[in-house]
């Protein structure tokens, strides 16, 4: 995104005018050199957070103790972080202390991979002390410094290596891979939320099957909740990437990795929203299995916002096939009703019809039967037609 870069260059200009130094760093530099769409633009600076707050109008302190503020500029956000190094990762989680430093090269040295350890000045010159440009040319993921030490400092970097391999189609350089082989068990110490963040990016990567292979061969997979040595690459690698947690969970549960959606959400500490979506997709898939087709009743009960995920799930399990997408959209367009409110015959009508019956679970049962019959096109959505039909039913049995 050229405008984001240009705005970042303007921000750098202002910092320089105030006597500081600043560069675009990390993922944005890497992606620009690869020629891939950039995510966020992060900026590193020699100035302290308070000084940055004085230069720009809208600055949100998001992590002052780590030297990070968010600068709002032309309606976009830029993380601006003071050059720093990190020391003593004793709990495998956070560096014990963050020390501000004066030199961009020292800041780059704390970063994980050579391709992520480059900086770009406002004239587009690249600062590349560790051979990141060469690594990009060679398509390799290579730790900055000694891989064993770097993974010991922060074991999350091991899964990040594979995540980048999956996204970029790069190979993990041999010394870096060796270190992962040796130290995969350290992942035990990492908060599952951090792992989950990287894992979903890995699963969604274009080169996901390569990612799966590396996870298995290095022994990382066994460290993850629910995967403990039951993942067999040959029979378990999906046919297409899994682009969101609901798809991924439904896929793995179908493959026998984890018993149900609930366990997944609990073990991986995912959100309730993910849980609800995963349950909807899983239910739709069970329905799909009954007939190996996308029925109106399935489509009716699946929220439209999950259409894409559901199609992906089928493709992940059965192979890439365009017809599922086509079937689903056709069925969705042809639905007789979108939800129960659209029924010409409502619960109140039902109660009136059987007015001498006590209210009970029969109401829901009868409504579902009406709803399903209308959705399946076996009766017209018309008050009189439905009423006549329901009148022929047995009296409700209350329980």
List interacting residues with ligand ATP (CB under 6 A). 26-27, 39, 42, 111-112, 116-117, 154, 156-157
Residue 87 beta carbon to ligand ATP: minimum distance, rounded to whole angstroms: 13
* Token pair of 318 as six digits: 């059965």
The residue nearest ligand ATP at its CB is 27
Give the total of residues touching Mg ion (CB under 5 A): 3
Q: At its nearest, how many Å lie between ligand ATP and the CB of residue 163?
A: 8
Nearer to ligand ATP among residue 137 and residue 369 (C-beta): 137
Q: Which is nearer to Mg ion, 27 or 145 (CB)?
A: 27
Closest to ligand ATP by CB, 89 vs 239, is 89
Q: Return the number of the residue (170 or 324) whose C-beta is nearest ligand ATP.
A: 170
328 token code pair: 């689903």
CB of 217 to ligand ATP, least distance (A): 22
Question: Binding residue per annotation — 40?
Answer: yes
Q: Is residue 154 a known part of a binding site? A: yes
- For residue 6, the minimal CB distance to ligand ATP (Å) is 19
356 is in an annotated binding site: no
Structure tokens given for 162: 């594979």
Cβ atoms within 10 Å, residue 39: 12
Tell me the closest approach of the beta carbon of residue 26 to ligand ATP, in angstroms. Answer: 3
Taking the least distance from each CB to Mg ion, the nearer of 26 and 95 is 26
Q: Is 349 within any annotated ligand binding site? A: no
Taking CB under 5 A as the binding criterion, the range among 36-44, 175-183, 288-296, 360-368 that sits at the site for Mg ion is 36-44
Closest to 301 in 3D by CA, of 289, 287, 315, 311: 287
Nearer to Mg ion, 111 or 312 (CB): 111
Whose Cβ is closer to ligand ATP: residue 84's or residue 111's?
111
**Nearest distance from residue 116's CB to ligand ATP, in Å?**
3
Q: Report the partner that residue 296 touches, choosing among Mg ion, ligand ATP, none (CB closer than 5 to 8 A by kind).
A: none
Residue 156 or 199 with smaller CB distance to ligand ATP = 156
* Range in contact with Mg ion (rule: CB under 5 A) among 35-43, 126-134, 182-190, 232-240: 35-43
139: left (phi over 0), alpha (psi -120 to 50) or beta: left
The answer to whether the annotation marks 27 as part of a ligand binding site is yes
* Beta carbons of 38 and 100 less than 8 angstroms apart: no
Residue 294: name the closest of 318, 311, 315, 277 by CA.
Answer: 311
Task: Give min distance, CB of 269 to ligand ATP, in A.
Answer: 19
Q: Given the structure tokens 């046919």, which residue do they identify?
A: 239
Q: What is the DSSP string of 234-288?
A: HHH--SS---SHHHHHHHHHHTTSSSSHHHHHHHTT--HHHHHHHHHHHHHHHHH
Q: Is there binding between residue 27 and Mg ion (CB under 5 A)?
A: yes
Q: How far is the CB of 120 from ligand ATP (least distance, A)?
A: 12
For the record, the structure tokens of 40 come out as: 């966020």
To the question of whether residue 93 is assigned a binding role by annotation, the answer is no
Burial of 317 (0-12, 13-18, 19+ CB in 10 A): middle
Q: Among Mg ion, ligand ATP, none, what does residue 122 contact (CB within 5–8 Å per kind)? A: none
CB 211 within 8 A of CB 205: yes
Which SS3 state, helix, strand or coil, does residue 44 take? strand
Q: Are 57 and 11 in contact (CB under 8 A)?
A: no
Measured distance CA(151)–CA(345) in Å, rounded: 63
Q: CA 100 to CA 82: how far, in whole Å?
A: 7
Task: Produce one character per residue of 150-178: b if its CB has 16 or more CB atoms within 10 Å, e if not.
Answer: bbbbbbbbbbbbbbbbbbbebbbbeebbe
Per partner kind, with CB cut-offs from 5 to 8 A, the member of ligand ATP, Mg ion, none near residue 156 is ligand ATP
User: Would the annotation count 232 as a binding residue?
Assistant: no
Residue 40 in contact with Mg ion, rule: CB under 5 A: yes
Round the CA-based radius of gyration of the chain to a whole number and report it.
27
| Residue 261 exposed, middle or buried by CB count within 10 Å (0-12, 13-18, 19+) | buried
Please report, in range form, the residues annotated as the binding site for CTP: 27, 30, 111, 154, 157, 160, 163
Site for Mg ion, rule CB under 5 A: 27, 39-40
Please report, in range form, the residues annotated as the binding site for Mg(2+): 40, 42
Please report, in range form, the residues annotated as the binding site: 27, 30, 40, 42, 111, 154, 157, 160, 163
Please report, in range form, the residues annotated as the binding site for ATP: 27, 30, 111, 154, 157, 160, 163
């Amino acid at each position: 995104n050229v405008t984001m870069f240009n705005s970042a260059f303007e921000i750098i200009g202002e910092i320089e005018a105030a006597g500081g130094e600043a560069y675009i760093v990390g993922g944005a530099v890497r992606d620009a050199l690869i020629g891939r769409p950039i995510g966020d633009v992060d900026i590193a600076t020699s100035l302290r957070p308070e000084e940055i707050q004085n230069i720009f109008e809208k600055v949100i302190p998001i992590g002052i103790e780590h030297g990070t503020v968010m600068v709002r500029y032309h309606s976009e956000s830029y993380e601006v972080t003071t050059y720093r190094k990190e020391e003593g990762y004793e709990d495998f989680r956070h560096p014990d202390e963050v020390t501000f430093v004066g030199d961009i090269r020292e800041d780059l040295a704390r970063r994980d991979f050579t391709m992520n350890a480059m900086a770009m000045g406002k004239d587009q010159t690249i600062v590349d002390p560790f051979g990141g440009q060469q690594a990009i040319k060679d398509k390799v993921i290579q730790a900055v410094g000694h891989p064993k030490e770097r993974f010991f400092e922060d074991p999350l970097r091991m899964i990040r290596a594979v995540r980048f391999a999956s996204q970029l189609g790069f190979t993990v350089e041999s010394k870096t891979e060796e270190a992962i082989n040796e130290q995969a068990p350290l992942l035990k110490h990492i908060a599952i939320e951090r792992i989950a963040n990287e894992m979903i990016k890995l699963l969604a990567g274009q080169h996901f099957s390569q990612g799966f292979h590396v996870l298995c061969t290095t022994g990382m997979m066994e460290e993850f909740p629910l995967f403990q040595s039951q993942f067999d690459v040959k029979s378990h690698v999906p046919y297409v990437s899994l682009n969101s947690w609901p798809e991924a969970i439904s896929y793995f549960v179908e493959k026998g990795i984890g018993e149900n959606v609930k366990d997944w959400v609990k073990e991986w500490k995912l959100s309730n929203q993910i849980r609800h979506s995963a349950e909807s997709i899983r239910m739709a898939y069970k329905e799909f299995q009954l007939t190996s087709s996308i029925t109106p009743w399935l489509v009716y009960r699946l929220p439209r916002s999950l259409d894409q995920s559901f199609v992906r799930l089928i493709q992940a399990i059965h192979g890439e096939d365009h017809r599922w997408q086509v079937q689903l959209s056709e069925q969705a367009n042809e639905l007789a009703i979108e939800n129960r409110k659209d029924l010409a015959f409502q619960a109140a009508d039902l109660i009136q019809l059987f007015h001498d019956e006590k209210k009970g679970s029969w109401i829901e049962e009868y409504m579902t039967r009406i709803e399903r019959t209308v959705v399946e096109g076996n009766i017209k959505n018309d008050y009189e037609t439905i009423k006549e039909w329901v009148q022929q039913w047995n009296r409700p049995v209350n329980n």
